[in-house]
């Protein structure tokens, strides 16, 4: 029995990376340069919409492909539904993170025909570029110093869970919050379910009041400073309905 193969699309590592770079340039343009146009096209009243990036560096907000299975892996569906239920910057960053996943998905969908060393080289080429998320969020490595979580009563405030690691949320800080934490025992991340003492930064949802590792929800302390009210993905999705 012959092994099925894809008869179209880029075949070599260089061709696949060129395809990846073009699609990446397209979605980057949508999320950094054409922001107002992209935002307006993602109307929550419309059906499931996707952000497509094309090899020629263009982008499009459109419905998913009708055929099943699609010719290519699909981008994240329904990015428009949560638009009005979240802070704009947070929503854009979330779309960017899912877009990064899609770009990798497409690249390694084509890369399935490349040998092991070729895939390793392909990932190396991709990994040398900043992610879409990094570009949208203007992400920079942040050192977790004592001064960052000094307990100052800023707008984001800080709290300490039972594992002794500081948290940051968008609610006013008070000593009663610490007492409530102690009563409820060990705090677990609402995304990964771990408490992970290595994670220095946490953020609390103002909707369900669960806590999340910043890294699990793709939010840095710097980003949190600009979020007036944080809602996790399930809560923001409920709000948009």
CATH superfamily for domain 202-239? Zinc/RING finger domain, C3HC4 (zinc finger) (3.30.40.10)
Positive or negative torsion for Cα 156, 158, 162, 165 = positive
Strands 211-213 and 202-204: antiparallel
Tens digit of each residue's pLDDT, the chain (241 residues): 344 444 467 889 999 999 999 999 999 999 999 999 999 999 999 999 999 999 999 999 999 988 888 888 999 999 999 999 888 989 999 999 999 999 999 999 999 889 999 999 999 999 999 999 998 877 444 333 333 333 322 233 334 344 444 444 443 333 344 444 444 446 777 777 777 655 467 888 888 888 888 888 888 887 777 787 888 877 877 665 5
Give the integer Cα–Cα distance in Å for 116 and 88: 40
Cite the beta strand spans of 33-150 per DSSP E. 50-53, 59-62
Assess whether the previous peptide bond of 69 is cis (omega < 30° from 0): yes
Query: For the chain, what are the domain ranges?
Result: 13-138, 202-239
Q: How far is CA 6 from CA 18, 70, 111, in A?
A: 18, 13, 11
Q: What is the pTM of this model?
A: 0.56
Q: Which two tokens stand for residue 219?
A: 């939010």
Query: Please, which contacts does 27-33 make with residues 24 or more away whose CB atoms are closer than 8 Å?
Result: 27/51, 27/53, 27/59, 27/96, 27/99, 27/103, 27/132, 28/132, 28/135, 29/57, 29/58, 29/59, 30/59, 30/61, 31/92, 31/95, 31/96, 31/99, 31/132, 31/135, 31/136, 32/135, 32/136
Instruction: Answer for the pair 19, 10: CB distance below 8 angstroms, yes or no.
Output: yes
Mind listing the pLDDT tens digit for each residue in 71-129?
889 999 999 999 998 889 899 999 999 999 999 999 999 998 899 999 999 999 999 99
Spatial distance between the Cα atoms of 115 and 136, rounded to a whole number of angstroms = 33
């Amino acid at each position: 029995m012959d092994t099925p193969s894809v008869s179209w699309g880029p075949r070599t590592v260089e061709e696949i990376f060129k395809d990846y770079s073009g699609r990446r340039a397209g979605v980057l343009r949508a999320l950094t340069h054409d922001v107002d146009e992209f935002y307006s096209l993602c109307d929550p009243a419309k059906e499931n919409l996707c952000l497509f990036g094309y090899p020629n560096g263009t982008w499009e907000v459109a419905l998913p492909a009708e055929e099943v299975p699609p010719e290519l892996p699909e981008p994240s569906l329904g990015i428009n539904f949560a638009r009005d239920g979240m802070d704009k910057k947070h929503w854009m960053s979330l779309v960017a993170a899912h877009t990064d996943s899609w770009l990798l998905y497409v690249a390694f969908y084509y890369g399935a025909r490349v040998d092991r060393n070729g895939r390793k080289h392909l990932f190396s080429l991709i990994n040398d570029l900043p992610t879409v998320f990094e570009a949208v969020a203007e992400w920079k490595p942040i050192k977790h110093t004592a001064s960052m979580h000094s307990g100052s009563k800023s707008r984001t405030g800080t709290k300490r869970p039972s594992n002794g690691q500081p948290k940051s949320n968008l609610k006013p800080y008070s000593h009663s919050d610490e007492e409530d934490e102690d009563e409820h025992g060990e705090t677990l991340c609402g995304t990964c379910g771990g408490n992970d003492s290595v994670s220095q930064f946490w953020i609390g949802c103002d909707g369900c009041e669960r806590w999340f590792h910043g890294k699990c929800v793709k939010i840095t302390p710097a980003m949190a400073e600009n979020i007036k009210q944080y809602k996790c993905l399930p809560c923001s999705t409920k709000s948009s309905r």
